[in-house]
Amino acid sequence: MDVATFGGLTGLHWALLGAAVAVIGGGAGSAMGITYVANVAGGILTEMPDRFGPLLPLVVIPGTQGIYGFITGVLVIFIMKPGVEEGWAALPGSLGFQIFLACLPVAFVCFVSGAYQGLTAAGAAGMVAKRREEMGRALVLPALVETYAVLSLIVTILMFFLVISPNLPKG
């Protein structure tokens, strides 16, 4: 079956689905991760309100995966924009499917890494609760999980600009 007609989806549908999956995956992973660490931080803050400043970066850091999903969604729109301005009736099916596939690294990796980064940050919050001066070391632990979210964004961007963009119809 031709990718352009798979499930009745046109290329435009595939591209928009890719953008949506990236935004949803990154956002859901971030929401879970922030929830995990915020629950731990909230417990610590009831006993030690002076730890708010050092705990805040640990609560915020899982939110970056949602930002990577958002960046991917915006990139899809920018990649399609020249064709839309030229009056495309629809993005060619194969190219729309390629855009969808290029969104998958961010969608899946950010979903998983956002949640696990929150769990890692929750453990790091325990370090800060016991020893405030360990904040720098504590932040390194969830930052290691961040590496894989960043790598997924880089792969998605490379696919967009080195593989897909050169193949888009020129107006």
Per the CB < 8 A criterion, the answer to whether 69 and 153 are in contact is no
Cα–Cα distance between 95 and 108 in angstroms, integer?
21
- The answer to whether residue 120 is domain-embedded is yes
pLDDT in tens, the chain (171 residues): 444 555 677 788 888 999 999 999 999 999 999 999 999 999 999 999 999 999 999 999 999 999 999 999 999 988 876 555 555 555 677 788 899 999 999 999 999 999 999 999 999 999 988 888 888 888 899 999 999 999 999 999 999 988 877 766 665
- The answer to whether residue 69 is domain-embedded is yes
Residue 63 lies in domain: 11-166
The total of structural domains in the chain comes to 1
Q: 51-81: string of b/e by CB count within 10 Å (b at 16+)?
A: beebbebbbebbbbbbebbbbbbebbeebbe
- The answer to whether residue 66 is domain-embedded is yes
- The answer to whether residue 3 is domain-embedded is no
- The answer to whether residue 137 is domain-embedded is yes
- The answer to whether residue 33 is domain-embedded is yes
- The answer to whether residue 5 is domain-embedded is no
